[in-house]
Amino acid sequence: MPERLDKVANREYSNVHRLDERLRFPTEPSRINARKLIVPWIVSHLRDGDRIVDIAGGVGTYASLISRERDVTVVGVDISEGVVAARGEDPVLAENVVGDMEALPFADGSFDAAMFVAALHHVPDPLPALREAFRVLKPGGQLFTFDPASLRARRGNRPIEGSPHEFRMSRAWLLRRMREAGFEIEDARSFRVAIRFLRLVSRKPSARLWRIADVVDPVLTRVPGMNALGEVIRVRATKPRA
């Protein structure tokens, strides 16, 4: 059977742009913001010696930082051969394989934690990938996800015109899919409420606007109902022990 268009598009896009993340990471405001929201959060929930699978994690920018802050092993899996080769250039990311997030090449119960960073919005339905993450986690294992949340996809994923490798995904639908995969949601929080409104002023907010948003966001998210308006959703879930 022919391969799904989104898989072909994801592989081709990643092979071409595989080094963009490393180049943009130190200076692009959205990447700086993501690093602050992702790395300390995941590190705080890990234990030394944990084995983590970084699913569709690109060149491993966040995985590399996590490995340098906590004595853990991160195994990377990505559909792009070029991305996997690039990951291998990082001395703390020695274990990497080419694979599909919907058919992970690992045995049941192989990992203490799994992470999807800006990955689940690259498939038309995250449920198969979430079920695979559930399968390869040990009982009690943790799932960490960080993905865009759309206000225009209330009933599920919607294709983005001109971007066959991306889909709009609603916050509620993602959480429902996680529960359907068997996970128990421990914490789900939205971020970047202020920046969503600031994009009405500038489609590509400057570093100054991002700094303003960082100050305003904690205030806005305390207002009832505002949290659901965030541009991204960060979730920690667990696989039940029994």
CB 57 within 8 A of CB 80: no
Closest CA to 122 of 229, 25, 11: 11
Q: Report the sign of the C-alpha dihedral through residues 157, 240, 101, 53, in that order.
A: positive
Ranges of the chain whose pLDDT falls below 70 = 1, 154-155
The pLDDT of residue 123: 92
Give the neighbor-by-neighbor strand order of the sheet with 51-55: 95-98, 73-78, 51-55, 111-117, 137-148, 232-238, 184-191
* Dist CA 144 CA 239 (whole Å): 12
CATH architecture of 5-192+225-238: 3-Layer(aba) Sandwich (3.40)
Backbone angles phi, psi at 95, to 5 degrees: -105, 110
Closest CA to 146 of 220, 66, 226, 89: 66
Residue 44 token pair: 């705080």
Domain boundaries, the chain: 5-192+225-238
The pLDDT of residue 1: 62
The pLDDT of residue 97: 96
The pLDDT of residue 178: 98
Closest CA to 18 of 56, 54, 59: 59
The answer for residues whose C-beta is within 8 angstroms of residue 189's C-beta and 6 or more apart is 221, 227, 230, 233, 234, 235
SS3 of residue 96 by DSSP: strand
